[in-house]
Amino acid sequence: MGCHNGQVTGYGRLVLAGAPIGQAGDVSPRLREVLGSADVVAAEDTRRLRRLAGELGVEITGRVVSYYDQNEAGRAQELIEALKDGRTVVVITDAGMPGVSDPGYRLTRLAVEEGVTVTALPGPSAVTTALAVSGLASDRFCFEGFPPRKPGDRARRLAALAGEERTMVFFEAPHRLESSLAAMAAAFGPDRPAAVCRELTKTYEEVRRGGLGELAEWAAAGVKGEITIVVAGHVADAAGQDMDALVAEVDRRVAEGAQRKLAIADVARQAGVPKRELYDLVHRRSATP
């Protein structure tokens, strides 16, 4: 066998297939084609794969194997052997892109190390979909996955992100949503703008926007479904002034009866920041439903 650009000729191909996050109609024609022609389809949930294939009208002719968190390490080596035998292996998870808070990273890493060609079928992603509909800045963002489950670990992780200036995207389980939002409010401030995106692209899709403290109170009543949280990044001016705190001070004064324009001018003067800069930020925040 030869080698070209670090990839071994004669080896098969690993295909990371993006799966719909709610609507089967969002898949691409290429996904239909690859599912029907692959030698091996490694699925996070084989029953959900069969259901998706039925909805798409695709007959899977290759071997279907399970590939989920608990068996990922062991199954990866088996799939590598199939790839080295010249097989095409498709990895598909329940929703979104394999390797993004889903199984796929370990196999991809091994495939790269072995010289196997790795490619992807782009598809819907809860990360970018939530970011797009959140109404928050999307020019720079970071994906933080699921926050730690233990309160202490979670508090430490969030404290380390308090100064992060990029918009942050998190996944969370519905039964932990309230506690995570409360922890974020404690770490980032209750007025930090955020959006909770639930059941994206599905029948009961909902996007709830507001400050973290307000969203934590809303979540206390119980929330169901697949959850993605988008949180605005920390905002500071060139002098290091905490603009989030200044916006909160303006909001406090307005709530006490002050005119917004006068409150902005007074707070900006006291903090030594440009009035226009604070006005623009307050306006953007207040425009978020």
**What would the pLDDT profile of 248-281 be if each residue is shown by its tens digit?**
889 889 989 999 999 998 888 887 777 887 888 8
**Mean local confidence (pLDDT), 1-13:** 72
- What is the structure's pLDDT at 65? 96
Is the confidence at residue 187, as pLDDT, over 50? yes
Give the pTM: 0.77
Is the confidence at residue 72, as pLDDT, over 90? no
Distance, CA of 229 to CA of 9 (rounded, Å): 43
- What is the structure's pLDDT at 132? 96
**What would the pLDDT profile of 209-219 be if each residue is shown by its tens digit?**
999 999 999 99
- Crossing angle between the packed helical segments 46-56 and 29-37, to the nearest 10 degrees: 120
- What is the structure's pLDDT at 5? 60
- What is the structure's pLDDT at 238? 46
Select the more confidently predicted residue: 102 or 2: 102
Which residues, other chains included, contact 103 with Cβ-Cβ below 8 Å and sequence gap of 6+? 44, 67, 68, 69, 72, 91, 93
Angle subtended at Cα 39 by Cα 34 and Cα 44, rounded to the nearest 5 degrees: 75
Distance from chain centroid for Cα 198:
12
